[in-house]
Structure formats: C-alpha cells, structure tokens
Homo-oligomer: A and B are copies of this chain.
C-alpha cells in the first residue's frame, strides 16, 4: 500500500492539480483591496474604452485627405477653426479644409479622422501650414480601441496584478468577486523542538524554525497563517491539536517528524482526520522524500520534512502550487524560472529527482548557477542560495556549462 503511494515529482504535482480547489465561497471586494487575489468571475465590459476618440499627440485634428502630398517644400494650407479644450466635448464639426488645435488626450471632433503633430505644422495667423501628410487614424486612438462593449476583459482564475486592476477601473468596475485568502495552519511536532524565542537551549533541544519559515513562505504566497505551535511526539495530543487546527483552516501543514517514530504518528494523524486520507506517501526526490499529502473531505493536509531546508524546498515545489489551487488560480499559471549555466559537474542517481541549491552569478550577459553544497538540515545553505535546480529523475547528472532552469526563491 505504502509502496504504491510513493510518487514522482510530476505525479505529485498532478495529484495536487486534480484534487484541490478553493474551499471557501468568493467574496466581493473594492478594487483597491483585490491586489494579488484571484478573480472568481468572468468580467465582461459594459462600456467601451476609451469612451471617445482621443488624440495621442499635441497637434491639430484634420481630415487626412486634406494633407495628402504635403511636404516641407509643398505644405498644405488649412483654416484653423478654434481649439479643443482638455476634458471638454469637441463641439464643432470639422469640415473639409479645416483644422482644430488639440492637446494629447483631447477629444477628436466629428469630421476629423487623424491628427497632425505640432512638430510638423506652422501657424501663420488663422492659417495652418502642414508639412507632413497623415493617414486616417494616425496619432489617435478610436473609441473602443482598448476595450469593446460586451468584450470578455478577464476570465475567472486570473491573479489580479496592477494592470488588471487598471483595466477593471477603466471599464468603471469599482468592486470584483474574488476568492478569499486561504487559511493555512502550521503545527510543528517533535520532542526536541522548543519555541523559537526560547533563549537558553538545553542540550538536545532545537528551536522551531519551520513555523517561522513555512509561515512566512505561506504569507508570501498570499495565505493567512495560523501558527499552531508545537506538540510532543504523543499520538493523542498530536491528533487532537491537529483536528482543532484543521477545522479552522483550508490547509493544514504538519512539520517535523523526520524520525521513524514521528513519521508514523504523522501519517496516522493525517489518515485519522477523514477520508479519502493519504494520497501521496513519499516522493522520489532529494531532499524531501518523507513528504506526505492527504485529503480529508475537500481539504488538504501536508506533512513536510523536519529539516528546515528540506521543508522549504518541498514548500516551493508542492505547497506553493497547492496554495495557488486553493486561491483559485487556473493550473496554467506562469512559473517564474530563469535559465542559467551550471558552473560544475553534478552527479545524480537515476530514478530520483535531485534539487540542488544554487547561487546565481552574472558572467557577461549570462547567468551562471553555482551549487551551494551542504546537508539538507543546514538552513544557512538556503540563505546563501538564490534558487534551486532540478536534476530530472532520468538523468545521471548535469555537466559543467549545461543550461539548467533555476526555480527562484522568493
């Protein structure tokens, strides 16, 4: 049973993509509070943007035909008929042979179809000398060029960036339906773990680093975090605290349990929280093999390795995409990886994905990735690293100079 549940990295990501969705109902928020949240509705524009045809330069609104053939040596002559004011309606119809002064952003008058730039004309009393011809539509944006009435402006599943809020503001939306931030609860386990603010450590004790790092990483992904504290290696205490947190959260993360005894507790707790239970029991990856993923009702529970550096790597690989699913992001979202060359040979075992921490260094125009070596328990290796490189399960290693994809840490 356990044997069948050890999965590859790709299989684990597929389980995550298939099994989980936002737990809570969408809420309607003012635009100004929606940055970074995920749209829960398709937005169709009830207006056109811009609302009216606008000049994109300072100049004169004209009929293009009146400028055809105009040049420095043979200017066209047009009658200046007033001036369009910024933010005001262009009242006057523009007739053949006429020009109206217009500022950038000014409304194009009826009858005009283009704008001559101020650099290409000369005013002589009421007469405009035009030294350059324009074509219809030149130096202007037509009403509806940006957004048409009835157009699908944005689809549900889009994480709202500044520009997305901008287009929503442009079409007159003042609030949007978004998924609430998922609530992530974190519980650390282990008889040796003490709170991170304990000053004098007894021999054998270590501070709870994972609550800090995993909590911060979850916040950086947009989640709200409940810090569940630390429980000892005792099944009843562990289960009752886990159950309590699970009821308040959309995702429960259990950290610790690297020793055989604690791992067994962790698995039993996860299995006891509800059906269908454990989906992934171990991933063929280094570091991070003891990763466990379960589901109780519709909600996920994830068991992370106890070593802080392994726990953070597993967080980047699996927990971050899981949180994105709970936020409502469509699975096709962009992963931000950069290409770099590896600075030395790294051997690896076939059949297992290896993740190597790297520091990036620019040589000329190219990024080079230098491996940061150290046992997976060393948190300082992550501080020295900018990201990590995967050595795929089917490879025996990577050669110096080879291009690799670097998954950047926040």
Contacts and interface: CB of A to CB of B under 8 A. Distances in A.
Interface of A: 31-32, 35-36, 47, 49-52, 54, 56, 58, 85-90, 103-107, 118, 141, 145-147, 153-154, 161-167, 169-170, 172, 174, 190-193, 196-199, 201-210, 212-217, 219-220, 233, 258-261, 306-309, 312, 334, 336-339, 360, 375, 377-380, 382-383, 385-386, 408-410
Contacts of A379: 49, 146, 163, 166-167, 170
A132 to B, nearest CB: 17
Contact of A35 (B88, B162, B216, B260): B216
Contacts of A382: 163, 166-167
Contacts of A47: 201
Nearest to A159: B410
Contacts of A260: 58, 103-104, 118
A162 B312 contact: yes
B378 A212 contact: no
Contact of A163 (B85, B163, B172, B312): B312
Given A50-B206, A89-B203, A306-B104, A162 B214 contact: yes
A85 B191 contact: yes
B190 A52 contact: no
B103 A259 contact: yes
Contacts of A198: 172
A194 to B, nearest CB: 8
A219 B360 CA distance: 27
Contacts of A106: 192, 204, 259
A51 B206 contact: yes
A147 B306 CA distance: 18
A312 B166 CA distance: 10
B212 A31 contact: yes
A206 B169 CA distance: 11
Nearest to A212: B169
9 contacts: A51-B206, A86-B233, A104-B258, A104-B260, A105-B258, A146-B379, A162-B410, A163-B382, A166-B379
Contacts of A201: 47, 51, 172
Given A86-B204, A90-B203, A169-B213, 18 more contacts: A31-B196, A32-B216, A35-B219, A49-B379, A52-B204, A85-B191, A104-B258, A105-B259, A106-B259, A107-B203, A161-B216, A161-B409, A162-B213, A162-B220, A166-B212, A167-B380, A336-B336, A339-B339
Nearest to A102: B259
A84 to B, nearest CB: 8
A8 B202 CA distance: 59
Oligomeric state, in copies: 2
Contacts of A87: 190-193, 204-205
A166 B213 contact: yes
Contacts of A86: 190-192, 204, 233, 259
A341 to B, nearest CB: 11
A167 B383 contact: yes
Contact of A172 (B191, B207, B214): B207
Nearest to A193: B87
Contacts of A174: 196-197
Given A87-B192, A338-B337, A165 B216 contact: yes
B191 A153 contact: no
Given A86-B191, A161-B410, A383-B164, A203 B51 contact: yes
Nearest to A306: B105
A91 to B, nearest CB: 10
A52 B203 contact: yes
A216 B378 contact: no
A212 B233 CA distance: 50
Nearest to A143: B203
